[in-house]
Amino acid sequence: MTTFEDILEEAGKFGRCQMRIFSTFCLVSIPFSFVYVGIVFQGFTPEHWCRDPGVSEIRERCGWSLQGARRATVPLMNSSTGVMYSQCQKLDMDWNATGLTCDNPESEFTKAQLSTLPMTGCTDGWEYDYAGRQSFVTEFDLVCADAWYVDMFQATLSVGFLVGSIAIGYLADKYGRMKSFLMTNFVIGVTGILVATSPNYITLLVFRVLFGFGVKGGWMVGYVLVTELVGMEYRRMVGVTYQMFFSLGLLMLPLLAYFIPNWRWLQVVFTVPYICFLTYYWFIPESPRWLLSQNKRKEALEITKAIAKENKKTLSKLIETLTDENTDPTSTASFMDLFKTSKLRKFTFILSFNWFTSAVVYQGLIMRLGILGGNVYVDFLISGIVELPAAFLILLTIERIGRRLPFAAANIVAGAACLITAFIPDNLFWLKSAVACVGRLGITMAFEMVVFVNTELYPTVIRNLGVSVCSTLCDIGGIVAPFLLYRLAVIWLELPLIIFGALAFVAGGLVLLLPETKGMPLPETIDDIECPNRNKENQLKSQQLENLLPSDVTSNKEVTAV
């Protein structure tokens, strides 16, 4: 009997057809990056202070700038980041009765005098140093006591990721990769527009959950599908490049945010690509590997022949014996299958923890850019550029060294960089930034590799479910990350980095307990996990059989268009 890996030898392991499908699915990673870290711009919290009707009246009469009025009327306060203008309290006084003049406002009151006057809350709202721009923070006044609502914007997205990954992973294994992918994009298109038109913040959070439900699951389905369509030696390139487009999306995001100053229109721009992805229905086939696992041999043969035709290859009679001999056609993927054997339990635990760590550290380092001050657009662009070498470093190392050691090293380097950055003085700005960039590079490599390794470790029958369930810890990490960053940073700005460093160190150590998957064919069944040597023997027998075939049959594998 002939396996799909054998037929790919004839149809083309990475021919024109696979290149077309792969390139179109790479586009899915770009808007995913917009959604994943768009909070940096959609939920940006600018400099703010209490609005005072009396001060506003004087400012308009005198023609003062917002900054000038703040310097004259807002007291300084101590905070975790040093001395700064009060953001959540204002002076309890009638400014029209103070005799404040327009000529030299800063000389009317000394800072010492302002600090001794009675204070009250921001009963009339806030002023924002964010002229011409609007985030949902400025629209809904999510500052001071309501600042934690900003954390909910990212947390609700991760809740949607969590539920969607499990549900869509199950649907993709039971009903097919493409059906699930198209369904998720329809959901994303509808809910994305609803997020952009939400009349209040509570409604926004509800639609944000539904929006996240489709985004993550659809991305994972695309990843699994393109991995299943190519030969074993191309999986590493396909997996890493698919994620590299995520990094390209990060480079585009600050440019989009700069030219689209309103968070609602930015949300629309994030959503439009997913509506366009519905057109994939007409030119992307179902995964033949999945069809075989579901005993849909006729459909798998038709698609495989179409792939060979587009690749300008000729198939031998081996395709008539194409089957998924190790898979029980009556079985369906079950959550408990992920814990069925000791090896699967170990894989599931280690991979889940690495998903969690990657999400917390990666999101934390990116969202941290929004609270450091400076030009958030430039800082974000520079940090995005730092990610690009990650893909090339992975491609250079995983085939020469393997998967396990680079994966572990990336986590450990990220952890060390976070810990070192936390203790570098602020006056050594460039050194602090350089070490932080090393940490960002390390966790990016780890994040890209956890998806890649996760796909290689699970068999076909539970691969999509396995990747989806393990990645739910990534979504839990996404729920935790904003609270961990924003709330701990209030105590000490560098405290989150200590937590990030510890998590990354532990994750790197656990990776060393995983088996090496370099040069191994994708496992088809759970038995292949428990007896990997048998899988290698089957591959060797297949190669020996190929060598014994008549020359007129084997030559068909080499027929290509010149």
CA distance 18 to 460: 19
Q: 111-120, 392-401, 444-453: which has the minimum mean pLDDT?
A: 111-120
Which residues have a Cβ under 8 Å from the Cβ of 238 and sit 6 or more positions away? 14, 22, 226, 227, 230
How far is residue 133 CA from its own chain's centroid?
26
Q: How would DSSP label each residue in 4-59?
A: HHHHHHHH-SS-HHHHHHHHHHHHHHHHHHHHHHTHHHHT----EEE--HHHHHHH
Q: Which residue has the higher pLDDT, 527 or 105?
A: 527
CA distance 216 to 164: 7
Most confident of 26-35, 211-220, 324-333, 478-487: 26-35
Average pLDDT, the chain: 82
Q: 87-101, 148-162, 402-416, 485-499: which has the minimum mean pLDDT?
A: 87-101
Chain segment 6-28, per-residue pLDDT in tens: 778 888 888 899 999 999 999 99
Task: Give me the percent of the chain exceeding a pLDDT of 90.
Answer: 30
- Residue 330, pLDDT > 70, answer no
* Token output for 349: 């635990």
In this prediction, residues 445-473 reach a mean pLDDT of 81
User: 560 — alpha (psi -120 to 50), left (phi > 0) or beta?
Assistant: beta
Sign of CA dihedral 166, 169, 173, 175: positive
Strands (E), 94-148: 119-121, 126-128
Mapped to the 3 state alphabet, what secondary structure does 198-225 carry? CCCHHHHHHHHHHHHHHHHHHHHHHHHH
In this prediction, residues 513-530 reach a mean pLDDT of 78
How high is the pLDDT of residue 524?
74
How high is the pLDDT of residue 355?
92
* Secondary structure letter of residue 523 according to DSSP: P
For 161, counting Cβ atoms within 10 Å of its Cβ (0-12 exposed, 13-18 middle, 19+ buried), the class is: buried
Q: For residue 450, which of 466, 478, 471 has the smallest C-alpha distance?
A: 471
Chain segment 345-400, per-residue pLDDT in tens: 888 899 999 999 999 999 989 888 877 767 888 888 888 888 888 878 887 888 78
Q: 180-189, 198-207, 423-432: which has the minimum mean pLDDT?
A: 423-432
Hey, how many other C-beta atoms are within 10 angstroms of the C-beta on 478?
Answer: 26
CA distance 433 to 426: 10
Q: 22-26, 219-223, 239-243, 372-376: which has the minimum mean pLDDT?
A: 372-376
Q: At residue 183, what is the residue type? A: M
Is residue 561 within 8 Å of residue 312, measured between CB atoms?
A: yes
In this prediction, residues 226-243 reach a mean pLDDT of 84
How high is the pLDDT of residue 322?
63
Most confident of 121-135, 196-210, 293-307, 320-334: 196-210
In this prediction, residues 88-104 reach a mean pLDDT of 72
Reported confidence tier of residue 57, pLDDT bands at 50, 70, 90:
confident
Chain segment 260-316, per-residue pLDDT in tens: 999 999 999 999 999 999 999 998 999 888 888 888 888 888 888 888 888 888 877
Write out the H or E segment, with its range, that includes residue 1.
none
- Domains observed in the chain: 1-35+140-314 (1.20.1250.20), 47-95+121-129 (no CATH), 332-542 (1.20.1250.20)
Q: Which residue has the higher pLDDT, 393 or 77?
A: 393
- Residue 101, pLDDT > 70, answer no
How high is the pLDDT of residue 108?
53
Model pTM above 0.75? yes
In this prediction, residues 93-119 reach a mean pLDDT of 64
Helix, strand, coil shares of the chain as percentages rounded to 5?
70, 5, 25
Is residue 65 within 8 Å of residue 104, measured between CB atoms?
A: no
In this prediction, residues 317-322 reach a mean pLDDT of 66
Reported confidence tier of residue 491, pLDDT bands at 50, 70, 90:
confident
Tokens 């300008």 map to which residue? 312
Task: Give me the percent of the chain exceeding a pLDDT of 70.
Answer: 86
- C-alpha dihedral over 131, 135, 141, 142, to 10 degrees? -140
- Residue 318, pLDDT > 70, answer no
CA distance 162 to 159: 5
Write out the H or E segment, with its range, that includes residue 110.
none
End-to-end CA distance of the chain, in Å? 32
How high is the pLDDT of residue 100?
66
For 305, counting Cβ atoms within 10 Å of its Cβ (0-12 exposed, 13-18 middle, 19+ buried), the class is: middle
Reported confidence tier of residue 324, pLDDT bands at 50, 70, 90:
low
- Residue 507, pLDDT > 80, answer yes
Q: Which residue has the higher pLDDT, 414 or 292?
A: 414
How high is the pLDDT of residue 109?
57
In this prediction, residues 464-476 reach a mean pLDDT of 80
Tokens 């024109």 map to which residue? 16
- Residue 107, pLDDT > 60, answer no
Reported confidence tier of residue 332, pLDDT bands at 50, 70, 90:
low
